[in-house]
Chain A
Amino acid sequence: MKSKGVRIAILSGKGGTGKTLVSVNIASIAGKSVYVDCDVEEPNGYLFFKPDNVREEIISVKIPVIDEDQCNGCRKCVDFCKFNALAFIKNKPYVFEEVCHSCGGCMLLCPEKAIREQEKAIGKVQVGVSGNVRVYTGIMNAGEASGIPIIKNLLEKSILDNTFPVFVDCPPGSSCIVMESIKDADYCILVAEPTVFGVYNLSMVYDLVRLFNKPHGVVLNKCLDGENPAESFCVENNVPILGRIPFENNLGSLNSNAKIATRESERYKVLFSSLLETVMKEVLHETTINP
């Protein structure tokens, strides 16, 4: 399978649709592969992979620190900061750390050189190995406002593993943090539930991947007999359906016990292998027509 270095992002409009189920299971049967958990607020892929030889790196951002004695109150920094992270009250400058985007502009601009930058830890990145899969996990400290610096670090690291296919397990939704996660993806898998609400969530990520011009397809999860509104959505909008995962007790209990279904059951191995094969065909097709 010509899947060298292909980067596939798995996303959905809300949590609990099966992003991690799909990501973990297709990564585990893709031969040598890379799994990246970008859901830094509540990463859970590592619970399934239980990686060994875990190395850890603290991720920090730079926050301005203003020397009050050197500050002459010109307020150039306050006026410049488009994130409104600075205020100047009663002849004293204030920094609102959680509003700051670490652009460093205030420090460059200060005519008195009264501003320096200080590292502030916001989370960590872990790298470990589980069978054939190299597992990257981003973990944001509770209370931090943005995990984007952690995701940037994760993706930069995982890009070095460019000889293997990379599966990026995205955060739920369609916000900045998801955009960051899919930015470098060659293909996006949208995971959808068979409900009207599921269609609403699907349409959010569908709009996002089209906005980013990313080739994409849908995995229908929790499939039952009868009407599937998510399937109808795909048919109406001409979105390729990559595969269907049945709504089953077996799969549910394997998953809730943090087991990787493809490593436990031949049936699920076949199911996810066929899904992966379809995905890779789509990816190759896309890269041929859209090199």
Chain B
Amino acid sequence: MKIAIPVDEQNLESNVCPSFGRSPHLLFYNTVTKETYYLDNTAVASQGGAGIRVSQVIADHGVRALITSRCGENAEKVLRKSEVLIYKSIPGTARQNIEAFVAEQLILLRDFHPGFHGHEK
């Protein structure tokens, strides 16, 4: 199963980025092969809809579960349609979050915030 985590740095000791849509990088991890790879987030400087764009990337990479600290309503919609489960991250590194996920200790994220949609006030 492939999982994704928004991360500040491209390594497993990075913390989980507090922002999903605006995280600088995405970590992809395959729980079967234990393979890891990273992508730069092209939506990091978008005017708006960053969560939608990142969710599209995650869906396109065949991810089944996302571990994140927050997630917006629009991103949630894309992820739901893509059948990606959204788990709430725990404090600590990406590695600790992967271990917690594998040990089935993470819970599903339930709160989805409304977007800001680039119409900054």
Q: Which residues of A contact B (CB under 8 A)?
A: 78, 81-85, 87-90, 92, 94, 96, 98-99, 145-146, 173, 175-177
Contacts and interface: CB of A to CB of B under 8 A. Distances in A.
Given A89-B59, A175-B121, A84 B78 contact: no
Interface stretch (B6-14, B44-52, B63-71): B44-52
Contacts of B43: 84
Give the contact-size bracket for chain B: 20 to 34
Interface in B106-121: 115, 117-121
B52 A84 contact: yes
Contacts of A83: 46-49, 118
Contacts of B121: 173, 175
A85 B49 contact: yes
27 contacts: A82-B46, A83-B46, A83-B47, A83-B48, A83-B118, A84-B46, A84-B49, A84-B53, A87-B52, A87-B56, A89-B82, A90-B81, A90-B82, A90-B83, A92-B81, A94-B78, A94-B81, A96-B74, A98-B115, A98-B117, A99-B48, A99-B117, A145-B117, A145-B119, A175-B119, A175-B120, A176-B119
A175 B116 CA distance: 13
B55 interface: yes
Contact of B119 (A87, A96, A146): A146
B56 A99 contact: no
Chain B CB within 10 Å, residue with most, of A83, A85, A89, A175: A89
Chain B CB within 10 Å, residue with most, of A82, A98, A177: A98
Given A90-B82, A96-B49, A145-B117, 10 more contacts: A82-B47, A84-B46, A84-B48, A87-B52, A88-B56, A89-B81, A98-B115, A99-B118, A146-B119, A176-B119
A245 B118 CA distance: 36
Interface of A is mostly: loop
Nearest to B116: A145
A88 B82 CA distance: 9
B43 to A, nearest CB: 6
Given A92-B81, A94-B78, A85 B120 contact: no
Contacts of A94: 77-78, 81
B117 A87 contact: no
Contacts of B50: 84
B39 to A, nearest CB: 16
Contacts of A173: 121
A118 B53 CA distance: 23
Nearest to A85: B49
Contacts of A176: 119-120
Contacts of B74: 96, 99
A85 B82 contact: no
A146 B48 CA distance: 12
Contacts of A89: 56, 59, 78, 81-82
A175 B120 CA distance: 7
Contacts of B55: 87
B63 to A, nearest CB: 12
A90 to B, nearest CB: 6
Contacts of A81: 49
Contacts of A146: 117, 119
A54 B24 CA distance: 51
A174 to B, nearest CB: 10
A82 B78 CA distance: 17
Interface in B24-80: 43, 46-50, 52-53, 55-56, 59, 74, 77-78
